[in-house]
Amino acid sequence: VVGLGTGSTASLFLAHLAERIQRKGLEIRGVPTSEATARLAESLRIPLVELAPSSAPDLVVDGADEADRQGRLIKGGGGALVREKMVAEAGRGMAVMVHWAKVCPELGAFPLPVAVLPFAWRMIAAAVSSMGAAVRLRSDRDGGPRLSDDGLMILDCAFGRIPEPEALEEEIERIPGVVACGLFTGLATRLLVGGPDGDVEEFPVPADAD
Ligand code: A5P
């Protein structure tokens, strides 16, 4: 069972996976992390299965918006962070593939996505602002809020720098009405970094990253 991430990088992985499933007759089932990924997997004839204890992914493969050298991540640029986090937490390992420009010494240049219950968004925006972030409600082209697959609003929270990702993740996820924040700490077990020439280097992720 493979957890199927969301985004342009994960989509490339899906295409390769589909090709291998067909060529080698592999018995692989995918747990999709978004409706878009589910649709793509179906079009590629990757068999899907719902997230359940009996279908916990052996490996999750996903992209990220930012990664540090310890394998800590910011995710959710595509708005799928809640399902991505649930699938990653259920999985036995998580391989993250990123372009080299997304690897940074410290997280925070990418505004941190936070998925929230619409009812509570103003309260949560105020709470996260008081932690030092500039907070924006993610909107559609028509100006209305962009909702996630689960009907949640996304707050993009620009911290600039996040010196203690684990502590911030815990603090934000304690706010009532927050479903998940885009900090993923202690989840990535492999970090695969694509270089400018198309070469791929694996950066070692410390086992005690969390
Ligand atoms: C989706 O919600 C995100 O977490 C993506 O995994 C992340 O935004 C990376 O996407 P790209 O591979 O398209 O850059």
Give pLDDT tens digits for 26-66.
Answer: 999 999 999 999 999 999 999 999 999 999 999 999 999 99
Residue 84 is among the residues annotated as catalytic for this protein: yes
Instruction: Name the average pLDDT for the chain.
Output: 97
Find where tokens 């692989």 sit: 28
Torsion, Cα of 144, 77, 118, 85 (10° steps) = 160
156 lines ligand 1 (CB under 6 A): no
Q: How confident is the model at residue 174 (pLDDT cuts 50, 70, 90)?
A: very high
Nearest-CA residue for ligand 1 atom 9 is: 64
Q: How far is the CA of 166 from the centre of ligand 1 (A)?
A: 20
Residue-wise pLDDT tens digits, 106-129: 999 999 999 999 999 999 999 999
Tokens of 142: 């028509």
Cβ atoms of residues 56 and 93 within 8 Å:
no
Q: Which atom of ligand 1 is nearest to the CA of 97?
A: 12
* Ligand 1 center from residue 123 Cα (angstroms): 27
Give the integer Cα–Cα distance in Å for 193 and 98.
5
Listed residue (178, 188, 152, 181) closest to 167, CA to CA: 181
pLDDT of residue 207: 85
Q: Is residue 66 lining ligand 1, measured as CB closer than 6 Å? A: no
The whole-number pLDDT of residue 208 equals 63
Catalytic residue from among 27, 35, 66, 84: 84
Between the CA of 64 and the centroid of ligand 1 the distance, in Å, is 5
CB 30 within 8 A of CB 41: yes
With a 6 A CB cut-off, is 130 part of the ligand 1 pocket?
no
- Expressed in angstroms and rounded, the spacing between residue 112 Cα and the centre of ligand 1 is 12
User: Rounded to an integer, what distance in angstroms lies between the CA atom of residue 29 and that of residue 19?
Assistant: 14
Q: What is the pLDDT of residues 136-171, one digit of tens each?
A: 999 999 999 999 999 999 999 999 999 999 999 999
Is the separation of the CB atoms in 4 and 63 below 8 Å? no
Residues in the chain: 210
Which tokens go with 116? 């929230």
| Residue found under tokens 């390769």 | 16
Convert the pLDDT of each residue in 55-99 to its tens digit: 999 999 999 999 999 999 999 999 999 999 999 999 999 999 999
**Is the beta carbon of 34 within 6 A of some atom in ligand 1?**
no
For ligand 1, atom 12: residue with the closest CA: 9
Q: What is the reported pTM?
A: 0.96
Query: Is residue 113 in contact with ligand 1, taking CB distance under 6 Å?
Result: no
Reference 104, options 10, 191, 4; nearest CA is: 191
